[in-house]
């Protein structure tokens, strides 16, 4: 089994905000797989299905971004999912809007949700799928910028890029994360601002 976690903040207040890019991608996956999220004992929405012949648990922590670790670790422990079979999907300020990057065994890069997961999992040997949201062009503080709702145009850009992430997931679920990194990272290299 693979645990695929999308990071974000729960509730209508945060719906469609930049920080919820991970939630948006998991909603896309659930719709594609024709499965629905249900509440769980881990303070998270969960949905199970078969993706490219592999059993997956889609996981949306509802503990708020900075506390993503405990729910994820609880589910991973229950289902005996090792770190290398965990995929964490999250927003990234240092990638231009719509740019994508897959990485394995890397630090949090300043992302507090990822930092919480590393702390509670006791490992950084999981797969990260990073969705670029870009940095604010004005003087808007970053903390406010990530919690602002995306425009229709921004949402359209991300939704068009989600199919690339799905292709990457297919390769990951086939046990070839390095190949997925090569394919996805090359595809979005021209959009990337930094190689963080």
180 has which bridge partners? none
51 has which bridge partners? 54
CA distances 186 to 4, 111, 132, 178, 195, Å, are: 22, 23, 14, 12, 12
Contact of 52 with 170, CB cutoff 8 Å: yes
Which residues carry out catalysis?
19
Determine how β-strand 54-61 pairs with β-strand 44-51: antiparallel
| Residue 68 burial (C-beta neighbours within 10 Å; 0-12, 13-18, 19+) | buried
Contact of 168 with 102, CB cutoff 8 Å: yes
């Amino acid at each position: 089994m693979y645990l695929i976690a999308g990071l974000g903040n729960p509730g209508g207040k945060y719906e469609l905000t930049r920080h919820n890019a991970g939630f948006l991608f998991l909603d896309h996956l659930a719709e594609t797989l024709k499965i629905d999220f249900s509440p769980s004992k881990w303070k998270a929405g969960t949905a199970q299905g078969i993706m490219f012949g592999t059993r997956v648990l889609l996981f949306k922590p509802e503990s708020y971004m900075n506390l993503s670790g405990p729910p994820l670790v609880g589910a991973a422990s229950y289902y005996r999912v090792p770190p290398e079979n965990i995929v964490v999907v999250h927003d990234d300020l240092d990638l231009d809007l719509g740019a994508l990057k897959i990485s394995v065994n890397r630090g949090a890069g300043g992302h507090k949700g990822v930092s919480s997961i590393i702390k509670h999992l006791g490992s950084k040997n999981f797969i990260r799928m990073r969705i670029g949201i870009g940095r604010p062009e004005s003087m808007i503080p970053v903390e406010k910028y990530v919690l602002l709702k995306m425009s229709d145009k921004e949402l359209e850009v991300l939704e068009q890029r989600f199919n690339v992430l799905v292709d990457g997931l297919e390769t990951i679920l086939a046990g070839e994360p390095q190949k997925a990194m090569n394919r996805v990272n090359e595809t979005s290299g021209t959009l990337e601002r930094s190689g963080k």
